[in-house]
A and B are shown apart, each in its own frame.
Chain A
Amino acid sequence: MKARVFVTLKPGVLDPQGRAIHHALEGLGFDGIESVRAGKLIELELADSTSDASIEAMCRKLLANTVIENFRIERQELAG
């Protein structure tokens, strides 16, 4: 099975990259953009037996820095 881990900055943590993207989009003429936040998507291919708790531990121990980042796990069971 596959799991996707979305790592995003916590609300309130300043995101200079998101701000730069925001400015660049406005520079291209797009208006109405309220804010831009940049994050990471990490795709994992895992043994089917991998538990939710184990994926969450991976996030806490390495994939996200929980001082500044939140994470969300999306399991994708492959059609058998």
Chain B
Amino acid sequence: MNAAVIVFPGSNCDRDLAVAIREVSGRAPAMVWHGDAELPDKLDLIAVPGGFSYGDYLRSGAMAARSPVMRAVIEAAGKGVPVLGVCNGFQILTEAGLLPGALMRNGGLSFVCRPVGLRIENSQSIFTNAYAAGSDITIPVAHHDGNFQADAATLERIEGEGRVAFRYTEDVNGSANAIAGLLNDAGNVLGMMPHPERALEKAHGNQDGRRLFEGLLEAVS
């Protein structure tokens, strides 16, 4: 798999994501700095990592979404290149307009850092095809701004189109409809607050995140 991980100042899950991609696909991704205006050719995956890009200034993901590299990411996403945004990556993708809605301060105002239950709502996407629809998995979250909100019409549309990939099985952060992971209308962009790269190896306590990368590898091979 020919992958790139975008690195912003303040990203802190970029290397974890790179390890996950390398472990599963056998090939290390290119690490692309936020100031780069171009991405490598023929990418099978662009991964936008978690962290606190630009110190979360203004709004989480707001500055990163306007950085030079994101113009290239938006263009690639438009051409169908798979884009995975995790945590701050999800926030960046909504700020960049690649996904609808916004991620606001957690309903309980606390930073939430623990493994949470997720239900697989859509097992047909390139990101979720290795999971069984309706099954429950456990993936860690670590965020302060994970409260997904969108207007009623948008929520109705994304639910109707089956674009909710993952839903929390408990109230984690106040998200509308307990949305934890969301696909774009074409299905090639996924944003999710939980960290699949932190549930990869036995030492992590569970390996439920590994199947996301395995399924993706299978889908793009």
Q: Does B72 contact A (CB under 8 A)?
A: no
Bound Cα distance from A63 to B106, whole angstroms: 21
CB-based contact A16/B105 at 8 Å: yes
Q: Does B109 contact A (CB under 8 A)?
A: yes
The one of A16, A20, A67, A68 that contacts B174, using a Cβ cutoff of 8 Å = A16
User: Which bucket holds chain B's interface residue count?
Assistant: 20 to 34
The one of A17, A62, A68 that contacts B149, using a Cβ cutoff of 8 Å = A68
Contacts known (A14-B174, A16-B108); A68 close to B102, Cβ less than 8 A? yes
Q: Which of B58-66, B119-127, B198-206 contacts A (4 or more CB under 8 A)?
A: B58-66
A37 CB to closest chain B CB, in angstroms?
13
Please classify the interface of chain B as helix (H, G, I), strand (E, B), loop, or mixed, using the class held by over half of its residues. loop
With a cutoff of 8 Å between Cβ atoms, the chain A residues found around residue B149 in the complex are 13-14, 67-68
Q: Does B95 contact A (CB under 8 A)?
A: yes
CB-based contact B107/A14 at 8 Å: yes
CB-based contact A62/B107 at 8 Å: no
Q: Does A50 contact B (CB under 8 A)?
A: no
Contacts known (A14-B149, A14-B174, A16-B174); A67 close to B102, Cβ less than 8 A? yes
With a cutoff of 8 Å between Cβ atoms, the chain B residues found around residue A13 in the complex are 104, 149
CB-based contact A17/B58 at 8 Å: no
With a cutoff of 8 Å between Cβ atoms, the chain B residues found around residue A20 in the complex are 109
CB-based contact B58/A16 at 8 Å: no
With a cutoff of 8 Å between Cβ atoms, the chain A residues found around residue B94 in the complex are 67
Q: Mark B131-163, 1 if CB is under 8 A from A, else 0.
A: 000000000000000010111000000000000
Could you show 17 A-B contacts with beta carbons less than 8 Å apart? Answer: A13-B104, A14-B107, A16-B104, A16-B105, A16-B107, A16-B108, A16-B174, A20-B109, A62-B58, A62-B62, A63-B58, A65-B59, A65-B95, A67-B100, A67-B101, A67-B150, A68-B149
Q: A-contacting residues of B (Cβ < 8 Å)?
A: 58-59, 62, 66, 94-95, 100-102, 104-109, 147, 149-151, 174
